[in-house]
Amino acid sequence: METDFFGASKNDRAPAFVSEGRADAEVLHVFGELDFAAVSEFESALACNVSLGRVLVVDLTPCSYIEASALGVLVRARAALGDLLRVEVAQGGIVHRVFEIAKVPHEVVFEAAYRPLRLVRRAGQSGPADSLPLRAAE
């Protein structure tokens, strides 16, 4: 298995996209690294989660890296969707820093938030917590 300098395998860094339908929005949680190789998969995941008239939240809080081409996908999506697109990043994290360095215009409205995902047992559900679907802690 091929690893990087730090011993992480490529599978450890591969992006994963988890969709969540909420009453007020569609949410796309992005895990792993959004590098050039993942851009087309990221664009497809965004397109699959766009619903006419519904807010789309792209949750990058669990994302560990974003490359310029993936950032460009978000900027183009914002131009197309306007206020229906919100992007959440972990304040002070690497992704947040990339947004600052790239000087993404404030009208794109990337929200700096720290809201880590955790497994939460919903009312009426039983079984181990790790078998339940992911949702943001409220």
The domains found in the chain, sorted by start residue, are 13-120+128-133 (3.30.750.24)
Residue 5's φ and ψ, nearest 5 degrees, are -55, -35
Average the pLDDT over 2-13 and give the result: 52
Rounded Cα–Cα distance for residues 117 and 44 (Å): 23
How far, in whole angstroms, is CA 81 from its chain's centroid?
17
Identify the pLDDT of residue 121.
Answer: 42
Q: For the chain, where are the E strands, in sequence order?
A: 16-21, 25-34, 55-59, 63-66, 85-90, 110-113, 117-119, 134-136
Q: Which parts of the chain fold into alpha helices (H)?
A: 10-13, 39-49, 68-81, 94-101
For the chain, the average pLDDT equals: 75
- pLDDT reading at 73 higher than 90: yes
